[in-house]
Chain A
Amino acid sequence: MASVTLDKLNKVFGHTHIIKDVDLEIGNGEFVVFVGPSGCGKSTLLRLIAGLESITDGDLKIAGDVVNDLPPRERGVGMVFQSYALYPHMTVYENMAFGLKLAKTAGDTVHERVMETARILQLEELLERKPKALSGGQRQRVAMGRAMAREPRILLFDEPLSNLDASLRVQMRNEIARLHHRLGSTMVYVTHDQVEAMTLADKIVVLRAGRIEQVGSPQTLYQQPATKFVAGFIGSPTMNFMPAELLGGDDQGCKIQAAGLGELALPQDAGGESPGAELTLGVRPEHLRLAEAEGDNAFEIVNVEYLGNEVYVYLEPKAGDTLLIHRSEAPSRWAIGQRVALVPELEHVHLFDGQDRALAMIGQRRAA
């Protein structure tokens, strides 16, 4: 177990600047998830911590010591790969013992550690099998066992579940969460799946184009996204965005005019924005209410999705615009073709300025 500190970390491949000035503090025993769209640099960041890529600039500290130039084996990190990358010619036991043997661990200790790891991961029955005789979930567990057997200070996971089918993914996600709970070791986990990020993380790091967009607990990211990007990335179905215009603000909040919604008084601090500024209004699907249409402010229902426990209603602001989504518990009385008015729950609404940064509520500081 150890803490990890990233201090102005940079990575340049040829002419491509992949990681830009990343600062991050990972606490002892924390489960941190790097999430972001493909190409955002999340895997590169993980590989920098692992030592599989060299650091171009900045410092990487593990338990307070700079480890920039240490090879992976001396950093005390274990890694689980997306494709598992088990040694095909070795049995499960040999796979898990390989690293220990290379570290010149005494024979008894090797056996003890492997058996202990196998017990934790319920692999005892499979120790003599070769990887090709294992199912996907079992291979996944062996890959974790191999990373854990050497008792690394930090466990790294590179999209470990993306090769599994949906039901197995949920099951393994659960096992990883329980494992973390049980071992209490520091874990860094990369995924592009925001559901995995939300369910596993103590702390989520949202990356975009090599920069950290926001760091926070799943709850913080969901309730107080710092930018429009985070707001759109976290949560499913995604947040609805609508263009809005600032009418004015005071110490009670601000007034905006949004297309199709009319004038709204919001608890956000208009801050430095002047009346007339172009803003974006963000409302999560569950924070919208539908009402009978009155007057001009009406939307047409173009689709209704029934999911059993809940219903998604899709609305078209104007022909060609991005559809808005409304989510409510089933059953729903709305049907395709109806014209309805939208009523956002004002205390849950987000406002983003011209640079897509969130405007803070009155009395709150603007998030990072």
Chain B
Amino acid sequence: MNPYQLIKLAKRVGLYALIAVVMVYAIFPFYYAVITSLKPSSELFRVDFWLSSLDFSNYVAIFSEGSFVRAIFNSILVAVSVVAIALLLGITASYALGRVRFRGRTTVMLTILGVSMFPQVAVLSGLFEVIRTLNLYNNPGGLILSYTIFTLPFTVWVLTTFMRQLPMELEEAAIMDGATPWVTITRVFLPLMWPAMATTGLLAFIAAWNEFLFALTFTLTDDQRTVPVAIALISGGSQHELPWGPIMAASVTVTVPLVILVMIFQRRIVSGLTAGAVKG
């Protein structure tokens, strides 16, 4: 082997080593959670990197508890509603902002962007008053409302940018064919905007699914909680025991839907995020 080939080999090895480091860094916490969730409580505090045996008792424990199942249902309800509302409003708003010329369009766009810059904590107390006035306290409706407020700016921005890239003549062709704006949006633009909608919808779903602060503040009883809060409030036999096994089992359970969703939509996400980079 001559020196040139040796250098090439070394570079290759280095590359894979680097990839391995990144993979471990990214995946290890989740991997350790999976491992922990599959261990009986007696072995919890022994550090193992491989599983010697499978033990599903933690999963049985959390699913036998009615409040956790209820929390999953609540989370699904809230996240799906947020995605649906955000996409519906996002698409219609992006048509207005991207296609209709009106005075103050830029101002509206900047205001929308500005809203999304506030930290959650800053609006927490104000939002709490709004939700109590609307009688949505301790109700999934309150969470849907508050998540939508934080999801919409991003959704509107991404969809508006995407909408602007669709050729003007396409809309004019639809007008010539006798389409109303609503028909143009639903039957001409919507089919073309799937990648953008998949991307923004998924990100909205993840945000709503994982949100903790609002979910903790705006709910009171077990049967109204979403998963992140439910996990945080899983308690052990005594004040001094943190039940890591069930917590990990619950965390893994609620992560799986996200992983599946991302896998289903990953092609679309990529094409959504790069759309417009090259002419299609």
Interface residues of A (CB under 8 A from B): 50, 52, 71-73, 77-79, 81-83, 85-89, 98-99, 102-103, 146-147, 150
Q: Which of B169, B175, B192 contacts A72 (CB 8 A)?
A: B175
List 9 extra interface pairs beyond A52-B172, A72-B175, A98-B177, CB under 8 A: A52-B175, A73-B178, A78-B176, A79-B172, A82-B169, A89-B192, A98-B179, A99-B177, A99-B178
- How far apart are A342's CB and chain B's nearest CB, in angstroms? 48
Q: Flag if A81 contacts B179 (CB, 8 Å).
A: no
Instruction: Report the nearest B residue to A87, measured CB to CB.
Output: B188
| Residue among B167, B169, B172, B178 with max Cβ neighbours from chain A (10 Å) | B178
**A-side contacts of B167, CB under 8 Å:** 83, 85
CA–CA, A89 to B40, complex, Å? 53
Instruction: Report the nearest A residue to B179, measured CB to CB.
Output: A102
CA–CA, A83 to B174, complex, Å? 14
Interface residues of B (CB under 8 A from A): 167, 169-170, 172-179, 183, 187-188, 191-192
CA–CA, A65 to B83, complex, Å? 49
Chain B contact residues: helix, strand, loop or mixed: helix
- How far apart are A215's CB and chain B's nearest CB, in angstroms? 26
Q: Flag if B176 contacts A72 (CB, 8 Å).
A: yes
**A-side contacts of B172, CB under 8 Å:** 52, 79, 81, 85
CA–CA, A79 to B177, complex, Å? 9
Q: Which of B173, B183, B192 contacts A81 (CB 8 A)?
A: B173
Q: Flag if A146 contacts B178 (CB, 8 Å).
A: no
CA–CA, A83 to B175, complex, Å? 16
**A-side contacts of B187, CB under 8 Å:** 98
Q: Flag if A87 contacts B176 (CB, 8 Å).
A: no
Q: Flag if B170 contacts A73 (CB, 8 Å).
A: no
- How far apart are B262's CB and chain A's nearest CB, in angstroms? 24
CA–CA, A89 to B174, complex, Å? 13
**B-side contacts of A50, CB under 8 Å:** 176
Instruction: Report the nearest B residue to A52, measured CB to CB.
Output: B172
CA–CA, A71 to B183, complex, Å? 15
Q: Flag if B191 contacts A89 (CB, 8 Å).
A: yes
Instruction: Report the nearest A residue to B169, measured CB to CB.
Output: A85
- How far apart are A214's CB and chain B's nearest CB, in angstroms? 30
CA–CA, A103 to B177, complex, Å? 8
Q: Flag if A85 contacts B170 (CB, 8 Å).
A: yes
CA–CA, A81 to B178, complex, Å? 15
**A-side contacts of B178, CB under 8 Å:** 71-73, 99, 102-103
Q: Flag if B173 contacts A79 (CB, 8 Å).
A: yes
Instruction: Report the nearest B residue to A89, measured CB to CB.
Output: B191
**A-side contacts of B173, CB under 8 Å:** 79, 81, 85-87, 146
| Residue among A77, A88, A150 with max Cβ neighbours from chain B (10 Å) | A88
CA–CA, A107 to B180, complex, Å? 21
**A-side contacts of B170, CB under 8 Å:** 85, 87
CA–CA, A81 to B168, complex, Å? 11
21 chain-A/chain-B pairs, Cβ below 8 angstroms: A50-B176, A71-B175, A72-B175, A72-B178, A73-B176, A73-B177, A77-B176, A78-B176, A81-B169, A82-B169, A83-B167, A86-B173, A88-B192, A89-B191, A89-B192, A98-B177, A98-B187, A99-B178, A103-B178, A146-B177, A150-B177
Q: Which of B183, B191, B192 contacts A102 (CB 8 A)?
A: B183
**B-side contacts of A82, CB under 8 Å:** 169
Instruction: Report the nearest B residue to A103, measured CB to CB.
Output: B178
Instruction: Report the nearest B residue to A132, measured CB to CB.
Output: B280
CA–CA, A136 to B64, complex, Å? 63
CA–CA, A306 to B93, complex, Å? 61
CA–CA, A61 to B220, complex, Å? 68
**B-side contacts of A52, CB under 8 Å:** 172, 175-176
- How far apart are A79's CB and chain B's nearest CB, in angstroms? 5
Q: Flag if B169 contacts A102 (CB, 8 Å).
A: no
**A-side contacts of B179, CB under 8 Å:** 98, 102
CA–CA, A266 to B221, complex, Å? 103
CA–CA, A256 to B178, complex, Å? 59
CA–CA, A111 to B174, complex, Å? 19
